[in-house]
């Protein structure tokens, strides 16, 4: 057997690098199958792992003006119970509050309040139980336990305090329950604890406060024949027809959103599905290049060894023995694919598990599906076995001849050209997808109109604050170490949900929600935000972005968005009302993320902050010059004078913060580019091997043509012309396919695959690519003289 293995290895002389590349690529392909297809399976589930109930369900929530999912109210959730096809409803409330552990106060702890109906409807696993619910025991997350309670002697004896009410712990929640939507839940409590947060003004009617407060995610158990799309329309009609309770909190500006299954992060799922579709498309192209390369390489070896097999059969060799010999020759490839691919899969899975986009959605990580890998390995090994027997094809029923038999038949020539066209179509498609994603990313970053040298300093608050700002800070005349400083009430890219409403002072239009940001008067000049219509920010004088100006122009029937200047507005909030006028208009800035559309935004002076909230908000500072460490030190000295619970982190570039809002886009671009480079790298060697063999197989023909007066330049030009024609055919096939798939690409991956500029670059690059590889493959043969070519 060792002789057959060594003999088979020697038969790959001058092609061992290409053979090794094919084997390693096949290992990589098998482990990607186990990862990417498993990702699709995980995304196909309509509920998290911790939901044991497998009956038809839907999620009850709201959609804000930015298209993000927001919690609903208990009142709205109870309305769903009236819809036909809904059997039961339940809810979970989310709140960020402080919790005490002994004498230590833990601020900003996220608490999930579950109801008894949620316990039954969702089928929550231990330690969630009716007994613990009635005993009013809490359940902590694994992360909270590791950070604060791991040193405790007994978890059941640990006592925590929520709003001065003590509770014991029943255990640790499953790891899969750590994340609920966009929130990492630290502690789970029965919803009876919500009564402790009812303010005095609602003491006579606490349910009015609790049921109209938008802090709940609802879930409904459906009958089998219920259609979520029809329920969505019926629910909207029911909400319009049902009066809202007087005296309660209202956010009627958000749209009701019913989602099939239990899904609290639909936007995250959409991003991952887009990522998965592109990965699957690239994986299919990668697999085709690998398999076609294997078939092509073994076909070439089969043609070269045809005479050998015919001679052995003519001398009386056993066919079964030849089959066993050929299989033994390929044992190294079989063992490498079976042994190396799972190790590579574990490495890739570990790497992918540390990517934040996947960590946010899959709390327990992405598993490497060993069964999918096993199916891929079996298919790959079967392909190797079939290809290994190619030298016997045509030899079993063919008489031995002493003539040279390394030429290709017409069928083999046609098959070779067909495979070449398909390979070129795949590489053109991959190049098109990668360039389209690159162009999309460049468009995002080129739209950012912020000074690159601006650094922001974020506050870190460990308790209650009482911040008092000076007139110099309000007006932007404050400096630290001779560096001018600007202020804002929130981080540049974290404005949150709209907290204000606006209405023209004419009163003809209804109130509409809008995002607001309170800034110092030098905010725009320091950050380099372009002014489209100059104006001075001041008390009762606001600046709006272009999207807001266009919205006002439509609402008020103005001829141009610039006419929105000097429009008088009434701005209202929580026990807050201001009469302001529009002093200027600035360009849209990526406050809502670099990948999202601009939203209407109003910039107000820090002097106009709600007096009830102003002293509790630590401002964000910005600078565009000076030493960031020194400025952070000065800011911490200033913060220490106000409160020992306030400090500032070292400065970070605003541009970096903006870019971090599109981690999914970066990941999509990097993964697709990496796959594209792998495919391109493999295609280069595959085509080089194919063209080299084509030149060698035609070596005798070329030598005769040169001997009778032919020129090498003409022969090379003819070969290049043939390959260019095949390339153009592949490009036309790809264009036709992408035109058919344009609608699907926009809906699945939100990328247009038919852009003239990108196609022009792809066509020129592909043709140049083919010319270079053809010349590279022919150079070795054409350097020889005619006598050497005739000897073969």
pLDDT in tens, 165-187: 999 999 899 888 888 877 889 99
Instruction: Name the band, by pLDDT with cuts 50, 70 and 90, for residue 721.
Output: confident
Compute the average pLDDT of residues 269-294: 78
pLDDT for position 59: 93
Q: Enumerate the β-bridge partners of residue 569.
A: 504, 580
State the DSSP string of 8-50: HHHTTTT-HHHHHHHHHHHHHHHHHHHHHHHHHHHHH-SS-TT
Query: Residue 403: what pLDDT?
Result: 45
pLDDT (tens digit, 9 = 90+) per residue, 474-512?
Answer: 888 888 878 899 999 888 888 766 778 888 887 677 778
Q: Per-residue pLDDT averaged across 339-343, rounded?
A: 76
Q: What's residue 383's pLDDT?
A: 78
Within a 10 A sphere around the Cβ of 399, how many other Cβ atoms?
A: 8
Q: Is the pLDDT of residue 396 over 70?
A: no
- 246 vs 123, higher pLDDT: 123
The region of weakest confidence among 54-58, 560-564, 577-581, 712-716 is 712-716
Contacts of 30 (CB under 8 A, 6+ apart): 337, 341, 345, 373, 376, 377, 380
Q: What are the two backbone dihedrals, phi and then psi, of residue 570, each rounded to the nearest 5 degrees?
A: -110, 120
Residue 70 has pLDDT above 90, yes or no: no
Could you please report the per-residue DSSP string of 106-160?
A: EEEEEEEEE-HHHHHHHTPPTT--HHHHHTT-EEE-HHHIIIIITT-S-GGG-EE
Per-residue confidence (pLDDT) for residue 356, from 0 to 100: 67
Taking the C-alpha atoms of residue 111 and residue 92, their distance in angstroms, rounded to an integer, is 10
Q: Looking at the predicted structure, is the pLDDT value of residue 419 above 70?
A: yes
User: In this predicted structure, what is the pLDDT of residue 5?
Assistant: 61
Q: Which of 143-147, 626-630, 761-765: highest mean pLDDT?
A: 143-147
Task: Reply yes or no on whether the pLDDT at 395 is more than 70.
Answer: no
Average pLDDT rounded to a whole number, residues 132-139 = 92
Whole-number pLDDT of residue 8: 58
pLDDT at 89: 94
Task: Report the pLDDT value the prediction gives residue 731, as an integer from 0 to 100.
Answer: 85
Q: How far apart are CA 661 and CA 671, in angstroms?
A: 18
- Hey, where are the domains in the chain? 57-262, 407-454+660-792, 459-650
What pLDDT is attached to residue 404? 45
Cis amide bond preceding 524, omega within 30: no
Mean pLDDT in residue range 750-770: 78
Question: What was the pLDDT predicted at 779?
Answer: 72
Mean pLDDT of 276-283: 79
DSSP summary character for residue 669: H
Q: For residue 444, name the pLDDT band (cuts at 50, 70, 90).
A: confident
Question: Exposed, middle or buried: residue 771 (CB in 10 Å: 0-12, 13-18, 19+)?
Answer: middle
Which of 107-111, 306-310, 591-595 has the lowest average pLDDT? 306-310
CA–CA dist 368, 31 (Å, integer): 8
Name the nearest CA neighbour of 420 among 686, 702, 162. Answer: 686
**Residue (of 688, 704, 667, 687) closest to 790 by Cα position:** 704
CA Rg, the chain, in Å?
34
pLDDT, residue 782, reads 64
51, 88, 661 from 223: Cα distances, Å: 18, 10, 39
SS (H, E, C) 185-205: CCEEEEHHHHHHHCCHHHCCC
**Continuous H helices in 615-709:** 628-642, 654-660, 663-697, 699-707
Report the pLDDT value the prediction gives residue 499, as an integer from 0 to 100.
75
Confidence of residue 405 (pLDDT cuts 50, 70, 90): very low
Range with the lowest mean pLDDT among 529-538, 611-620, 755-764? 611-620
Q: b/e string for 736-762 if b means 16 or more Cβ within 10 A?
A: eebeeeeeebeeebebebebeebbeeb
Inter-axis angle of helices 306-314 and 266-304, to 10 degrees? 50
Out of 283-292, 500-509, 626-635, 778-787, which region has the weakest mean confidence (pLDDT)? Answer: 778-787
Nearest to 625 by CA among 517, 528, 536: 528
Q: What percent of the chain has pLDDT over 70?
A: 80
Q: Bigger pLDDT: 252 or 283?
A: 283
Average pLDDT over all residues of the chain? 79
Contact in structure between 631 and 483 (CB atoms under 8 Å): yes
Which residue has better confidence, 450 or 696?
A: 450
Confidence class for position 402, pLDDT limits 50, 70, 90: very low
* pLDDT tens-digit map of 686-697: 777 777 766 666
């Amino acid at each position: 057997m060792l002789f057959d293995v060594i003999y088979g290895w020697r038969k790959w002389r001058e092609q061992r690098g290409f053979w090794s590349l094919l084997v390693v690529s096949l290992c990589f392909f098998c482990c990607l199958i186990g990862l990417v297809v498993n990702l699709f399976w995980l995304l196909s589930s309509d509920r998290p792992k911790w939901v044991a109930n497998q009956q038809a369900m839907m999620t009850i929530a709201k959609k804000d003006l930015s298209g993000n999912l927001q919690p609903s109210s208990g009142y709205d959730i109870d309305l769903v119970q009236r819809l036909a096809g809904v059997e039961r409803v339940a809810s979970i409330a989310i709140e960020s509050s402080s919790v005490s552990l002994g004498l230590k106060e833990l601020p900003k702890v996220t608490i999930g309040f579950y109801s008894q109906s949620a316990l039954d409807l969702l089928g929550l696993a231990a330690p969630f139980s009716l007994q613990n619910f009635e005993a009013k025991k809490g359940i902590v997350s694994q992360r909270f336990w590791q950070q604060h309670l791991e040193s405790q002697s007994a978890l059941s004896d640990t006592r925590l305090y929520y709003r001065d009410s003590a509770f014991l712990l029943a255990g640790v929640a499953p790891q899969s329950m750590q994340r609920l939507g966009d929130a990492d839940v630290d502690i789970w409590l029965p919803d009876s604890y919500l009564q402790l947060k009812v303010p005095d003004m609602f003491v006579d009617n606490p349910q009015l406060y609790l049921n109209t407060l938008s802090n709940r995610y609802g879930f409904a158990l459906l009958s089998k024949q219920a259609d979520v799309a029809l329920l969505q329309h019926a629910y909207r009609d029911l909400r319009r027809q049902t009066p809202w309770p007087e005296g309660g909190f209202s956010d009627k500006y958000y749209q009701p959103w019913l989602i099939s299954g239990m899904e609290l992060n639909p936007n995250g799922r959409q991003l991952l599905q887009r990522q998965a579709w592109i990965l699957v498309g690239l994986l299919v192209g990668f697999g085709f290049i690998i398999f076609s390369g294997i078939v092509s390489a073994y076909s070439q070896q089969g043609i070269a060894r045809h005479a050998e097999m015919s001679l052995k059969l003519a001398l009386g060799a056993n066919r079964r023995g030849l089959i066993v010999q050929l299989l033994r020759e390929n044992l190294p490839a079989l063992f490498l694919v079976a042994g190396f691919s799972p190790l590579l899969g574990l490495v890739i899975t570990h790497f992918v598990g540390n990517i934040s986009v996947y960590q946010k959605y899959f709390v327990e990580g992405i598993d490497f599906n060993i069964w999918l890998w096993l199916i891929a390995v079996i298919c790959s090994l079967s392909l190797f076995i079939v290809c290994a027997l190619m030298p016997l094809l045509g030899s079993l029923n063919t008489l031995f001849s002493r003539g040279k038999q390394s030429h290709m038949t017409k069928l083999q020539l046609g098959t070779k050209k067909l495979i070449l066209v398909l390979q070129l179509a795949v590489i053109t498609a991959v190049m098109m997808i990668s360039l389209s994603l690159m162009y999309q990313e460049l468009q995002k970053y080129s739209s950012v109109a912020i000074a690159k040298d601006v650094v922001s300093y974020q506050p870190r608050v460990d308790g209650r604050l009482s911040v008092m700002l000076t007139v110099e800070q309000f007006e932007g005349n404050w400096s630290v170490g001779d560096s001018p400083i600007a202020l804002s009430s929130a981080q540049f890219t974290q404005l949150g949900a709209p907290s204000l409403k606006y209405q023209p002072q004419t009163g003809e239009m209804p109130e509409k929600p809008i995002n607001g940001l309170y800034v110092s008067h030098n905010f725009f000049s320091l950050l380099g935000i372009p002014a489209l219509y100059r104006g001075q920010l001041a008390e009762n004088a606001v600046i709006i972005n272009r999207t807001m100006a266009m919205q006002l122009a439509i609402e008020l029937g103005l001829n141009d968005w610039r006419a929105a200047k000097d429009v008088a507005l009434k701005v209202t909030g929580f026990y807050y009302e201001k009469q302001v006028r529009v002093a200027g208009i600035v360009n849209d800035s990526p406050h809502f993320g670099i990948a999202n559309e601009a939203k209407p935004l109003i910039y107000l002076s820090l002097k106009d902050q709600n007096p009830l909230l102003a002293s509790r908000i630590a401002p964000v500072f910005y600078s565009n010059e000076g030493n960031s460490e020194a400025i952070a030190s000065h800011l911490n000295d200033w913060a220490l004078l106000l409160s020992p619970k306030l400090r500032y982190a070292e400065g970070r570039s605003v541009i970096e913060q903006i870019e971090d809002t599109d981690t999914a886009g970066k990941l999509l671009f990097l993964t697709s580019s990496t796959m594209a480079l792998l495919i391109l790298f493999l295609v280069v060697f595959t085509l080089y091997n194919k063209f080299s063999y084509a030149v060698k197989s035609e070596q005798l023909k070329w030598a005769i043509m040169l001997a009778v007066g032919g020129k090498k330049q003409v022969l090379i030009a003819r070969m290049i012309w043939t390959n260019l024609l095949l390339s153009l055919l592949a490009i036309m096939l790809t264009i036709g396919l992408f035109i058919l798939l344009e609608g699907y690409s926009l809906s699945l991956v939100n990328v247009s695959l038919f852009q003239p500029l990108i196609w022009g670059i792809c066509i020129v690059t592909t043709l140049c690519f083919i010319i270079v590889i053809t010349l590279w493959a022919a150079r070795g043969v054409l350097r020889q003289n005619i006598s050497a070519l005739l000897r073969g």
